[in-house]
Amino acid sequence: MIIEQLYTGCLAEAAYYIESDGEAAIIDPLRETGPYLNLAQKRHSKIKYVLETHFHADFVSGHIDLAAKTGAQIVYGPTSMQTGFEAHIAHDGEELALGKIKIKVLHTPGHTMESCCYLLLDENGNETALFSGDTLFIGDVGRPDLAQKVIAELTQEKLAGHLYESLRNKIMPLPDHLIVYPGHGAGSACGKNMSKETSDTLGHQKKVNYALNPALTKEKFVESVLDGLTPPPGYFPQNVLLNIKGYERFDEVISRASHAFSPLELEAAEDAGAIVLDCRDSQVFCKAFVPGAINIGLNGNFAVWTGTLIPDVKQPLVLVADHGKEKEATIRLARVGFDHVLGYLNWGMDEWLEGGHNTDSITSISAEALYEQMQKGPVNLLDVRKSSEFNSEHVVGAINAPLDYIRDSVSMVDRNKTWFVYCAGGYRSMTFISMLRKWGYTNLIDVKGGFAALKKSGKFNITEYVCPTTML
């Protein structure tokens, strides 16, 4: 028996490869099927099942493409949802044979109503591992407020109540020695304060995970699990529907996005409504970029921020990327349902600059330069980190305008004033400024290195640190 975790850091997502006697199952695969096909081929095994723990909100699963390429059976837990593809809807307690082992379906509604966990029984029938999806994380549980965005009659309170019962009746009675393999780790928006660890024993989680405290009442659980939740990223409901109804084949998405645009073609696409998405490093971007381009760097949570900031996954996009990084950007966008990448600017910015086309730029200054500016008189500081980060500690006098909710945050920005913008390390601040630049705001200056640089300099008055209770 083989268990392999395939963890993707930019989405904080864990897929799983399980194999026994030449048969394999994939749990919660990402959009691109290559890693799973290659692994099965390397091990001379046949993929029999694609097991889904629920209809994902934070990414588009690769279940349809993987099943089409392998003949595998797509499996979901109990649901009344009508899928746009053939799938086996398992019943609670159903056992799926895989080689010499079995995988038992445990219906655990709460994160979503169809959420389930997969309990692995080894060759001797012993309970060995629990693939807990978004029901149970390491140190946390799945947020119960996502399904209500798709099913109106559900409320987060009802879902939280279901989650409490699922944990008590299905998870906590299981033996302590089980290895828990969750669907996500720290950084995912599917939980509010999960651990960086990506597996643990169930026994240890019973001791340290607040949600598994046997003394916790249902009422207190609901209160605790809902505390600190913020509105989910706007693309989440769109991804749920793609996972239920189906989507364009991944290979076709990649093929269409392989078109190399000339500068004139890019300008024409932009005039027709496409957004120019510049994936380069923020400090490279700021020196010269296509006017109107938005900077979301490939070196960070690129796909998540794109989904958070661009409201419609069907928005046509043209990429500007470092040469050779165009396909990576396209793949990462497809993972969250942005399938309408029209192509990329040929040779990045090189051809654009050589052709003498107009460029824009953004001023970026050091923490020391900002301090010198403050010695001359008051300045306007804009902190674009999450509210939880800001409340934990910030520069005294700064205004919090979170990038996450930029369409609300923009109301705090007076066009007639000059603003010095910072985030944690310089990634989000450039994104924030580039978006406002596109909307006609010109008086924004980036603080290079963000809050980390401001604090390290020792020159700024920082509020007393308060440990955050949520990472959302």
Q: Compute the half-sphere exposure of residue 133: CA atoms within 13 Å on the CB side of its CA.
A: 36
Which residue in the block uniquely carries the two structure tokens 């029901």?
135
Instruction: Quote the pLDDT of residue 153.
Output: 77
| pLDDT at site 182 | 98
DSSP state of 464: P
Per-residue pLDDT at 189 = 92
Q: What is the dihedral of CA 43, 47, 53, 55, to 10 degrees?
A: 120
Question: Which domains can be identified in the chain, with CATH numbers?
Answer: 2-238 (3.60.15.10), 248-351 (3.40.250.10), 364-457 (3.40.250.10)
N residues, the chain: 472
pLDDT at 469 (0 to 100): 82
- pTM of the entire structure? 0.96
User: Given this model, what pLDDT does residue 147 score?
Assistant: 78
Say how far apart CA 471 and CA 185 lie, in whole Å.
12
Q: What does the pLDDT look like over 149-166, one tens digit per residue?
A: 667 678 999 999 999 999
Give the C-alpha separation, 239 to 340, whole Å: 14
pLDDT of residue 318: 98
What local confidence, expressed as pLDDT, does residue 165 receive? 98
What are the residue ranges in the chain where pLDDT is below 70? Answer: 148-150, 152
Instruction: State whether residue 282 is helix, strand or coil.
Output: helix
State the Cα angle at 214 between 213 and 216, rounded to 5°. Answer: 70
DSSP labels, 405-443: GHHHHGGG--TTS-EEEE-SSSHHHHHHHHHHHHTT---
Is the torsion defined by CA of 318, 324, 325, 331 positive or negative? positive
Place of tokens 């723990």: 53
Phi and psi angles of residue 354, each rounded to the nearest 5 degrees, phi first: -65, -30
pLDDT digits (tens, 9 = 90+) for 407-460: 999 999 999 999 999 999 999 999 999 999 999 999 999 999 999 999 999 999
